[in-house]
């Protein structure tokens, strides 16, 4: 039997998460301090809208068009699909925020559909206020203080803003998450009394991906974390509702750009599993 691939080196990463929940539902945060990471980190798609608030401007991203400075960014649902986006960081600190797509419109002031599979500068959405947040985090000495400042910023952004999805769209998203991506979308459309076309259009705009793609992403995320936790691919496929192991293999390669065996060694997922929400600093 061949030896299992070695887990990628994440010794250069220091990870922290808040001691208590934030004020705005549907939001999770973690803090990252990268002194010197030996390997670039793959951005693995996740069923959330991601905000990366960087303290300083020293991270570099390569999305297939060559390396460039990244800075503070907002990334849409499924950003990084295909495994083409890699981040390299040395002496970088940042707060990463994950927003439920059902909450993202109110916080960001734009429809999640406008961010599907892309990342834009956070200042393009939040203006000078967003840029000031990164500066403010640099003035604070502890992760608890940084989390509190980010939480206050998010709460202010969400207060009094429109952008909540239609109740039917929100219900369908909750059902997709609750069933871990295995619910049949046509049946969900029937349950809310909408046509397939109407659900596809509204959901895509208000959540950030078509319903079936969103369900596939939720299912992939569960399987990916199961593999990371040590499940054999066959067991992960069965637990995740895949037709068989080859079905799981195709979706993992499609989303992450690597095989399930290689996915288990990915540093992004290793950090993700520690930071959301188990590790406290």
CATH code, domain with 23: 2.60.120.10
Question: Is there a domain that residue 2 lies in?
Answer: no
- Same domain, residue pair 158 and 57: yes
* Whole-prediction pTM: 0.87
Measured distance CA(55)–CA(97) in Å, rounded: 14
Tell me the pLDDT tens digit for each residue of 110-165.
Answer: 889 988 888 888 878 767 777 788 888 888 989 999 999 999 999 888 886 677 89
Measured distance CA(9)–CA(1) in Å, rounded: 24
- Same domain, residue pair 174 and 105: no
Closest CA relative to residue 263, chosen from 239, 240, 231, 235: 231
- Read off the pLDDT of each residue in 87-92 and give the average, rounded to a whole number: 74
Question: Is there a domain that residue 229 lies in?
Answer: yes
Question: Is there a domain that residue 258 lies in?
Answer: yes
Tell me the pLDDT band of 193, cut-offs 50, 70 and 90: very high
Identify whether 277 is preceded by a cis peptide bond (ω within 30 of 0): yes
- Same domain, residue pair 153 and 241: no
Question: Is there a domain that residue 272 lies in?
Answer: no
Tell me the pLDDT tens digit for each residue of 249-269.
Answer: 999 999 999 999 998 888 777
Residues 6+ positions from 76 with CB-CB distance below 8 Å: 49, 112, 114, 115, 116, 117, 118, 119, 208
Tell me the pLDDT tens digit for each residue of 221-244.
Answer: 999 999 988 889 999 999 988 999
Domain assignment of residue 182, given as a range: 167-263
pLDDT higher than 60, residue 279: no
* CATH number of the domain encompassing residue 203: 1.10.10.60
């Amino acid at each position: 039997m061949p030896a299992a691939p070695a887990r990628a080196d994440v010794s250069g990463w220091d990870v922290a998460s808040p001691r208590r929940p934030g004020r705005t539902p549907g939001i999770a945060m973690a803090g990252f301090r990268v002194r010197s990471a030996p390997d670039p980190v793959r951005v693995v798609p996740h069923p959330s809208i991601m905000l990366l608030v960087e303290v300083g401007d020293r991270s570099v991203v390569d999305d297939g068009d060559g390396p460039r400075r990244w800075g503070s960014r907002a990334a849409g649902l499924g950003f990084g699909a295909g495994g083409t986006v890699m981040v390299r960081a040395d002496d970088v600190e940042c707060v990463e925020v994950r927003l439920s797509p059902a909450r993202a419109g109110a916080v960001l002031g734009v429809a999640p559909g406008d961010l599907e599979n892309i990342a834009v500068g956070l200042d393009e959405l939040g203006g000078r206020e967003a840029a000031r947040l990164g500066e403010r985090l640099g003035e604070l000495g502890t992760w608890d203080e940084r989390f509190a400042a980010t939480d206050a910023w998010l709460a202010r952004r969400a207060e009094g803003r429109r952008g909540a999805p239609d109740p039917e769209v929100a219900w369908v998203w909750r059902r997709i998450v609750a069933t871990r991506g295995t619910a049949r979308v046509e049946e969900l459309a029937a349950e809310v009394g909408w046509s397939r076309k109407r659900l596809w259009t509204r959901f895509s705009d208000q959540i950030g991906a078509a319903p079936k793609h969103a369900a596939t992403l939720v299912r992939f995320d569960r399987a990916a974390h199961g593999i990371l936790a040590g499940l054999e691919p066959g067991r992960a496929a069965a637990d995740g509702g895949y037709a068989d192991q080859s079905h799981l293999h195709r979706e993992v390669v499609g989303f992450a750009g690597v095989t399930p065996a290689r996915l288990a060694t990915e540093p992004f997922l290793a950090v993700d599993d520690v930071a959301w929400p188990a590790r406290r600093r």
